[in-house]
Amino acid sequence: MADTIFGKITRGEIPVDFVYEDDHCVAINDINPQAPVHILVIPRKPISRLVDATTEDQVLLGHLLMAVGNITRQLGVDEGFRVVINNGEGGGQTVFHLHLHILAGRTMAEGELSQGIQ
């Protein structure tokens, strides 16, 4: 896959404050937040889209969700947050390096699932 800004960020080539990091992923604040808390969880391994993950990535995908738990507990928003993955242009994906959005700090209304994330 082509390199992206998230590849550069995960490799430390662009200086960005990590909200969280471990051996397999980093988390950063979204540059264009859609909620008071808007974090991106980005695997160090570049996978273009969720659908491009293979069985080899199963453990990594689970790890990313576990990281969401750690990050939201760390930020004190674990009682109410939303996780979003945009997949493909039709799904609103703009950066083609898999990432999870964590949104928190405001009420996540029912029926709002497709709103608020470009």
Annotation marks residue 38 as catalytic = no
Nearer to ligand AMP (CB atom), residue 77 or residue 100: 100
Catalytic residue among 38, 97, 99, 101: 99
Q: List residues binding ligand AMP (CB under 6 A).
A: 5, 28, 30-32, 40, 86, 92-95, 118
Min dist. Cβ of residue 48 to ligand AMP (A): 11
Nearer to ligand AMP (CB atom), residue 114 or residue 118: 118
Min dist. Cβ of residue 112 to ligand AMP (A): 16
Closest CA to 64 of 48, 44, 45, 43: 43
Q: Which two tokens stand for residue 17?
A: 């404050």
Nearer to ligand AMP (CB atom), residue 55 or residue 92: 92
Min dist. Cβ of residue 91 to ligand AMP (A): 8
Residue 6 in contact with residue 26, Cβ under 8 Å? no
The residues assigned a catalytic role are 99
